[in-house]
Amino acid sequence: MKILKKYSPSYVIRNTYFPHIKNNFKNTFQRYNRVMIIKPSKQTVLIAMTGGLESTVAAYLLKKQGFRCIGIGLQLFEDGEDPGPFGDVMVTDLNKVKSICNYLDIPFYAVNASARFADIVLDPVVGRILSGQTFEPIVFLNLVLMDILIEKAAKFNTNLIASGHYAKVLKNQKTGSFELMVANDLEHDQSYVLSRLGQKHLEHLILPLSEIRKKEVEKIGSLIKVDYQKRLKTNIHHIMRDPRMALFVEGRSPKDLRRTGSIYDYREESPICEHIGIHYYYIGQKNLIKKIEPPIDPLKEVISIIPFKGNIFIDYPDRLKYSHALVNRFITSGKIDMTLPIAVYVKMSSGGTKIPCRLYFKNNDTCLIDFECERPGLLIPGQFFVFYSRSADKGKVIGSAIVEVGGMFANNEFNTLPKNKKDSDEDDDDDNKTVQIEKVHF
């Protein structure tokens, strides 16, 4: 493995994760042709500990490099509070995390972050669901995590933080800014969920697993004799679509905001049946109410939710398509020229593919996205986008943003949904389907 001389010494140290080992771990590491001997570091680093495989291996490797590691675990809910679907993605047993830190011989501190987590993650989740929109909780959970690590690091007289994410951070020698890069293991790359981090995080962040593939992490982890906290395997692709989310919203919102109403056939604009609350539905949802006669066609899906009236529209998805989107709250992970449009690749979900598009920068942190090709489906308000410089390996994160509206241009209009039989009035406030170009600042 080459030492990349063009990078600063701090970068080389932070991304060298196979130290010389003189115990029974040596043979495991030597199977991979990446062993590098470096001078031990005496610096202190705060590392996010979840009790899982990745954070444990990351802490182990940092400790072997000579870092003085301090484990930090977050309590995201108050004692006795129901975490709902978040119980599958958060630390549920801090005592287990503490026992792992004891095994690694590193101190451990638990931090009650429930108030901040509620403000940054839970309240927006509830608000977006009650508005018929979506959200990306894991992205903002990681932002809460890194903010707390930075704050606590100062109390330990250090500025270094670490986590077990699969991603890279390097310093751009031309601009002086730190940039978030994709991991070597593209299949498990987690740059998407770290894309909201700013310079105050990236310049202090160590990612010990950036050069390692997950199968190698698993082999290293098998030699660390601890009881890892297991994550439940689920067929649910996004936490916002978890069936438990409806009850979670009921526990955190007043009843008058959980509007009841009717489910409509979109093309005919005819009512089908009543529903008990919009928080039970999301755009893209299929297999709707079955206990009615005649039953709703399982191939139809929710394509629009009008929250203030409690109306839900369903249709076959065959006519749904988009070519442009307006995004807001755009932030960049480094320094880029925002005076000219740039060609990028956008990732619309953590496990999604990268789609070619062109990014036009507007005022007030908004951008217009022009997709290279017309695409099938719908873009949902609140959807989280991450922009990359490349479609494959060695790419970097350009920035991230949140979808405000998406659809097609036609006849000086920006249509978020196709026309239906009664769709003739451009200013109709009831259907929310046609948006004038000037209203979305295109």
pLDDT over 70, % of the chain: 84
Residue 33: the pLDDT is 30
The Cα angle at residue 286 between residues 292 and 264, in degrees rounded to 5: 55
pTM of the model: 0.86
**The tokens of 201 are what?**
């995080």
Residue 42: the pLDDT is 80
Quickly state the pLDDT bin for 333 (edges 50, 70, 90): confident
Q: How far apart are CA 66 and CA 13, in angstroms?
A: 11
Which is nearest to 169 in space by CA: 203, 135, 121?
203
Residue that wins the pLDDT comparison between 39 and 314:
314
pLDDT tens column, 125-145: 999 999 999 999 999 999 999
What residues contact 433, with CB distance under 8 A and at least 6 apart? 304, 415, 416, 417, 419, 420, 423
Whether 199 shows a pLDDT value over 80: the answer reads yes
92 three-state secondary structure: coil
Quickly state the pLDDT bin for 393 (edges 50, 70, 90): confident
- Beta strands in 189-340, from DSSP E residues, in sequence order: 205-206, 261-265, 270-275, 301-306, 311-315, 321-332
Which is nearest to 183 in space by CA: 168, 164, 199, 204?
168
- Comparing 88-92, 121-125, 156-160, 321-325, which segment has the lowest mean pLDDT? 88-92
pLDDT tens column, 403-428: 999 999 877 778 899 887 666 444 45
The Cα angle at residue 189 between residues 186 and 193, in degrees rounded to 5: 155
Whether 30 shows a pLDDT value over 60: the answer reads no
pLDDT tens column, 148-192: 999 999 999 999 999 999 999 999 888 889 999 999 999 999 999
Q: What is the mean pLDDT of residues 39-44?
A: 71
Say what angle helices 214-222 and 53-64 make with each other, to 10 degrees. Answer: 80
pLDDT over 90, % of the chain: 69
What domains lie within the chain, and their CATH numbers?
Answer: 9-164+208-222 (3.40.50.620), 259-318 (no CATH), 320-440 (2.40.30.10)
Q: Which residue has the tokens 């399982």?
A: 298
The Cα angle at residue 324 between residues 318 and 325, in degrees rounded to 5: 105
Residue 232: the pLDDT is 64
Under a CB-based contact definition with an 8 Å cutoff, are residues 416 and 405 in contact?
yes
Q: How far apart are CA 302 and CA 285, in angstroms?
A: 5
Q: What is the mean pLDDT of residues 311-315?
A: 95
Which is nearest to 355 in space by CA: 337, 341, 374?
374
User: What string of H, E and C letters represents the secondary structure of 106-150?
Assistant: CCEEEEECHHHHHHHHHHHHHHHHHCCCCCCHHHHHHHHHHHHHH
Under a CB-based contact definition with an 8 Å cutoff, are residues 260 and 277 in contact?
yes
pLDDT tens column, 214-225: 999 999 999 999
Mean pLDDT of the chain: 85
Q: How far apart are CA 146 and CA 161, in angstroms?
A: 8
Q: What is the mean pLDDT of residues 94-115?
A: 95
Under a CB-based contact definition with an 8 Å cutoff, are residues 183 and 190 in contact?
yes
Under a CB-based contact definition with an 8 Å cutoff, are residues 167 and 194 in contact?
yes
CA distances from 383 to 127, 277, 291 (A): 14, 22, 31
Residue 242: the pLDDT is 93
Whether 20 shows a pLDDT value over 80: the answer reads no
Residue that wins the pLDDT comparison between 347 and 35:
347
